[in-house]
Structure 1
Amino acid sequence: MTKPMNNVISMLGVQGLSRNNYSVVQLKVVLAIVGHAQKVIKDYVVDGQMPNKSMRKRLTAKQMTDGYVVVVIRLSDLCAHTSRYSQVKNAIVDMAKRKPIAIPYKCDVNQVTYYAEFPRLFSCEFIRMGGHLAVEFRFSNDLLDYFYSFDKGVAHVHLDVVNHCCSASSIKLYIITLCWALKGYTKIDPKKFVALMHGRENYYKYFSDLMSKSLQPALDDQKRLYDCGMVDQYLTLSTYYSEEDALRAEQRCVGWPTYLVFTVHCREDEVQDDKIPEELRSQRIQLKIKLMNRYDVSEATAKELSSHLFLGMLGDFVVWFERKEKYVAERIRLHQPMKKAAYIVSVLRGFFKDRGSLPVKSSGASSPDPVPVAKPFPPVSSNLKND
């Protein structure tokens, strides 16, 4: 089986990383809604000077007065077969009545991610449109401020891959991989990961339940899709315990890890040199992904720099790079001028040169201009939880 090259939609990271407990059918409804608004998303990507609540500048006077936006989609666009109309209708009604959603955004003051909580993604009613059954979705203007924000960037989702996923957890892991892991973010508190997968942190009492009922089957399914050629990357999982957590886990056999770390395995990197140790290959892939997606370094430069990383320097490198990341984050938080791509490339070359893996100064390609993003929304004190 080969990877499909069409039927791709652009999905904003805030949409893909929202906390919800949607079923397979409900996730496909969300993707259909996102697909219906492709022009809005693409305009958001190219619009570099977006003020807060920029979605409102696209609304009509009536929409502003009503407080909501109406989107009408034919039911046939939400499912392939008329025999499934009843199932899809029930899923939509359930979303409108009983499925809350929390949408992430980043606070401009402290660069911390918060979640704006809403009782539902939409309200709806079923109507006839040209002799066909359709759904009239109503989205509140307050929700749209968050649902169409560029705080978490944009990813490209293959709907054919989604249709080949075996479960809702598998679909969510695929979307999380695109919106989060492939952007260099692979370390997470396990309870926060549960919230991403199922909408709330206390969904599972035991870590073993998360693994057996949700995460491990999703990881296995992603590897199956990779082996079939449907996707070009898959994740593997490592768990880390503090001494206290490790003792508790050993005594009770139910302890939660201190944090989870996902390793991204990319097809292109794995076929290049099968003689490189697996641990080193994984670390090089992680570094390349971080440089490209977190620091806007060109692919050629990121690939060249990551190739200078070797096993003997991994311990020093992890500690050193974490300090540099904190320094960059602090400069950004204080709104101090910084060309982060040029800075990180420069200090990496110095690190590798000091350790003999870069004996001659090489001339890397210039990095692209930073991708402009929207200003995040201010905290909403009444309904937010710190992430």
Structure 2
Amino acid sequence: MAVNLTEFTTELPQTDDFKSIVLNNTPLIDVRAPVEFEQGAFASSINLPLMNDEERHKVGICYKQHGNAAAVKLGHQLVNEATRTPRVDAWAAFMDQHSDALLYCFRGGMRSKISQQWLKDSGREIVRLKGGYKAFRRYLIDFMESVPQQFQQLDIQPIVLAGRTGSGKTLVIQQLQNTIDLEGLAHHRGSAFGRHATPQPTQINFENNLSMSLIRFLETQAKQLIIEDEGRNIGSVNLSKELFDFLKGGERVVVETPLAERIAITLDEYVIEAQQEYPTLDAWTTFMLAALQRIQKRLGGERYQRVLKQFEDAMQYQIQQASTEYHQAWIETLLVEYYDPMYDYQMQKRQHKVAFSGSMQEVVSFLQELAKS
């Protein structure tokens, strides 16, 4: 059976202005297969594949066994006129919603070029990324690796927002402009109990999003970058050692919050808000019990049993009285007996210079004034 291969226009437009894509949050059409998209993509992209996973798999086998020409021919057989039309229509519909959309595949080669040509044949012009996903990803990684040197050249100071667990560091971050919310990018609250009901990004996507955040931050020309005091690992994702060491080398600004207020903040974030993420109360309870078990050795046998009993009592009270009030007991035990000693040890061990300490509002005011100087 004869197969009509795609005939290409002599010149199909390309761009490698990746910085502009980041700053403008340009919408992107990712024509790679879903399995590739799930491994890593860009925040402004949508997956509208040229070939689905099965089709891509078959073409890949054909390429290995019979070479490029046979693989291209098979691809055109699989994505024939009948299957092609709805895919082109989906790209066109996205372009109708986003007139500035761009298109890419893995290397900016055959798949994105075919997609681009099919759109052109249907009367639609779109620009593809030169070098595709791989080139854009390389740009983001190279930028992130250059951050310590760029910050030093531009005299930008990293400032680390420290404070005991529950002191409201994230609440401070949310009130400031010159920040990057690492926990937000990692989709994790940064502790043994910090996992959300929905998954974290892949390591690749975390790196892509962090690099984009740093690119956008540099454009603000701010002279301080404020980050929360995190470990290098935030749940299942992590910062490179070089970037982590540089960012964590900055001066500390410490949020001092009374224990009662810390308990209230922790209750709101880790109990009330967290429970709303889960489909049932039982699902959240299962997650919490598993998280408690993960720190059992560090808690020690007696303290683990005490916290477990406080948690079980709180759950029984919540079910009976529809109140989260009793959760304050196990929260206080963990804060005072587990997290506070760890924080004190780390602060003594590192001996970082503390530029300022105060209440949440005092810290916000200090950092806002610092940004003006």
Bigger CA radius of gyration: 2
Common topology (TM > 0.5) = no
Q: TM-score, normalised by structure 1?
A: 0.28
Structure with the bigger RCO (C-alpha within 8 Å, sep 6+) is 1
Q: TM-score, normalised by structure 2?
A: 0.29
